[in-house]
């Protein structure tokens, strides 16, 4: 199979038929062997009914329905798990991503041997204050932190080698950072393509300003995981050891100073009246806790399993 198109969605019943027709027209005109996978992330409208109708009429349509809303990352992860195409294309269901971009994205993966191509909505039709400006700030921070020179990390239109989507684990709200996750797994040929951005035709956006706050928090998480995710002892153990050594050295100095004053008959304050005693004690406790956190982290990494963080309610055409 040439292409798997993975489409996460939430309450997009008005756009699904039109989106399918548009994608199918493009793929059929290029004679691709394809599948279109819709992942219904707990919609409360008629989205699943539309997907059922499409799946009944078209063998190329597959559907996954979650029991409730888990988030875009979990929806993508479910789609990645069953995608069979040599190239996997992701796009949003709101008709803002242009399916006409698919052939060129496919060629960049298959002919130029890119591992991942990320779309760049250079000209956007979103609100400047609530979306465009925060998006520019967010992407600048992501570029600086990750080292990837991408302009639009959060663009839903991306193309991947199948090996990439099978290697990355997308959870929480890490869908924004799939290129970073892929880089961490050793897929280094990551490119970017300017893509068309359509104005939203139906409904309203499902994302508010809070997504940028969450995005920055996730950026901190993934930056830490990129460096220490597979070796937490290198971070927690190092700082734990340094804090413990500082505390124990301070405690020894305080004790030695007290003994010296007692031996010389010099009047001095009680050890427990010395503020440095509590600083030293706190440092030793925190150092021990940090060291244990690193040790436990190492144990978790050695024994962790690939658990799914979503529950599928129904599947179609599997």
Per-position DSSP letters for 106-154, written without gaps between them: HHHHHTS--SEEEEE-SS--S-IIIIIHHHHHHHHHHHHHH----S-TT
- Check if the beta carbon of residue 109 is closer than 8 Å to that of residue 160: yes
What pLDDT, on the 0 to 100 scale, is given for residue 304? 60
Q: Which residues pair with 158 in a beta bridge?
A: 90, 118
Specify burial of residue 135 (Cβ count, 10 A radius: 0-12, 13-18, 19+).
buried
H or E segment and range at residue 215 = helix 210-228
- Residue 127, classed as helix, strand or coil, is coil
73 alpha carbon, distance to own chain's centre: 7
In the predicted structure, residue 226 carries a pLDDT above the cut 80: no
pLDDT mean across residues, the chain? 87
Indicate the range of 113-122, 236-245, 300-309 predicted with least confidence: 300-309
At residue 198 the predicted structure's pLDDT band, cuts being 50, 70 and 90, is confident
- Residue 129 tokens read as 């204050």
Q: How far is the C-alpha of 175 from the C-alpha of 218, rounded, in Å?
A: 10
| Residue percentage of the chain with pLDDT more than 70 | 87
In the predicted structure, residue 13 carries a pLDDT above the cut 90: yes
The model's pLDDT over 99-153, given as tens digits with 9 standing for 90+, comes to 999 999 999 999 999 999 999 988 766 554 556 676 777 777 778 877 888 999 8
In the predicted structure, residue 205 carries a pLDDT above the cut 80: no
Beta-strand (E) ranges in the chain?
3-9, 34-40, 61-66, 87-90, 116-120, 158-161, 190-194, 312-316
- Within 8 A by CB and 6+ apart from 194, the residues are 119, 120, 122
- Check if the beta carbon of residue 193 is closer than 8 Å to that of residue 104: yes
Indicate the range of 41-45, 186-190, 216-220, 312-316 predicted with least confidence: 216-220
Q: Which residue do the tokens 């190092």 mark?
A: 238
What pLDDT, on the 0 to 100 scale, is given for residue 200? 72
Q: Which residue do the tokens 């978790």 mark?
A: 300
């Amino acid at each position: 199979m040439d292409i798997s198109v993975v489409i996460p969605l939430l309450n997009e019943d008005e756009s699904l038929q039109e989106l399918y027709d548009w994608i199918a027209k493009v793929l059929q005109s290029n004679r691709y062997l394809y599948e279109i996978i819709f992942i219904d992330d707990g919609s409360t409208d008629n989205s699943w009914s539309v997907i059922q109708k499409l799946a009944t009429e078209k063998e190329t349509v597959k559907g996954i329905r979650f029991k409730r809303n888990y988030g875009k990352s979990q929806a993508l992860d479910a789609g990645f798990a069953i995608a069979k195409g040599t190239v996997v294309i992701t796009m949003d269901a709101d008709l803002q991503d242009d399916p006409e971009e698919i052939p060129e994205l496919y060629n960049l993966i298959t002919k130029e041997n890119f591992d991942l191509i990320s779309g760049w909505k250079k000209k956007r039709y979103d609100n400047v204050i609530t979306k465009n400006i925060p998006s520019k700030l967010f992407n600048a921070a992501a570029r600086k932190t990750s080292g990837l020179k991408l302009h639009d990390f959060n663009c839903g239109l991306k193309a991947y080698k199948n090996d990439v989507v099978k290697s990355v684990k997308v959870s929480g709200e890490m869908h924004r950072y799939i290129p970073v996750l892929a880089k961490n797994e050793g897929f280094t040929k990551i490119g970017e393509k300017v893509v068309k951005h359509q104005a939203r035709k139906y409904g309203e956006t499902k994302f508010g300003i809070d997504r940028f706050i969450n995005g920055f928090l996730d950026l901190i998480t993934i930056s830490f995981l990129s460096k220490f995710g597979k070796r937490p002892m290198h971070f927690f153990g190092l700082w734990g050891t340094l804090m413990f050594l500082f505390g124990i050295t301070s405690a020894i100095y305080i004790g030695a100073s007290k003994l010296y004053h007692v031996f010389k008959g010099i009047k001095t304050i009680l050890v427990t009246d010395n503020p440095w005693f509590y600083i030293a004690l706190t440092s030793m406790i925190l150092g021990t806790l940090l060291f244990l956190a690193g040790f436990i982290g190492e144990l978790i990494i050695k024994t962790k399993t690939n658990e799914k963080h979503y529950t599928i309610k129904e599947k179609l055409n599997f």
